[in-house]
Structure 1
Amino acid sequence: MKTVLVFRTSVATPQQAGRLKPVLDNLMHTREKWNFDLEDCDRILRVEAFTLQAQVIIEKLNREGFFCAELED
């Protein structure tokens, strides 16, 4: 079953999101996807995945120099 993970980030520009594209694409499997909503004040990263854990995404973005925290329901 696919899970939707939602994160608050410090990614502010399309260029920064583009820089993260290969990092995030490398985490995804077939039929999984991700996107940023940079218009939102929390600069949302939304991930639809089957097995990917939130902590893995947080650690990857942190390693790239960005803040990332999962938003709770």
Structure 2
Amino acid sequence: MLDLEVFRTTVDCPVAAAALRGHLLARLPCPARISFDLDDCDRVLRVHTPGQWLDVQTVAAVLRESGYHCEPLPD
């Protein structure tokens, strides 16, 4: 079961990251753990939904709706 995904994003602002985290929490299964690493060159987004399937299209749609891009990083 895929319940952890790591994404490369275009998010570059801590305020935007906090807002996106809230939007993602509202749309993803509970309990979801969401974190951004904006210091990483890929501005990494990690999404973990323990024991529940994670829909990467939902994550991409939430970021796209806010004007950002994300793509899953290869394993």
TM class by smaller structure: 0.7 to 0.9
Moved more, 22-31 or 8-17: 22-31
Matching residue's letter, 1:70: P
Structure 1 residue 60 corresponds to structure 2 residue 62:
yes
Shift of 1:37: 0.6
Q: Mean alpha-carbon deviation: is it higher for 20-29 or for 33-42?
A: 20-29
Q: How many angstroms apart in 2 are the aligned matches of 1:28 and 1:56? A: 8
Task: Report matched runs for 1:1-73 at 5 Å.
Answer: 3-49=3-49, 50-73=52-75
List alignment gaps of at least 5 residues for structure 1.
Answer: none
Distance in 1 (alpha carbons) for counterparts of 2:31 and 2:57: 20
Unaligned runs of 5+ in 2: none
3-state DSSP class of the match of 1:5? Answer: strand
Paired with 1:30 and 1:55, the residues of 2 have a C-alpha distance of 17
How many Å separate the matches in 2 of 1:45 and 1:25?
A: 13
Percent identical? 37
Q: How far apart are the structure 2 equivalents of 1:6 and 1:27?
A: 17
Matched residue pairs, number?
73
TM-score if structure 1 supplies the norm length?
Answer: 0.86
* RMSD across aligned positions (CA): 1.5
Check the 8 A contact 1:37/1:44 in 2, yes or no: yes
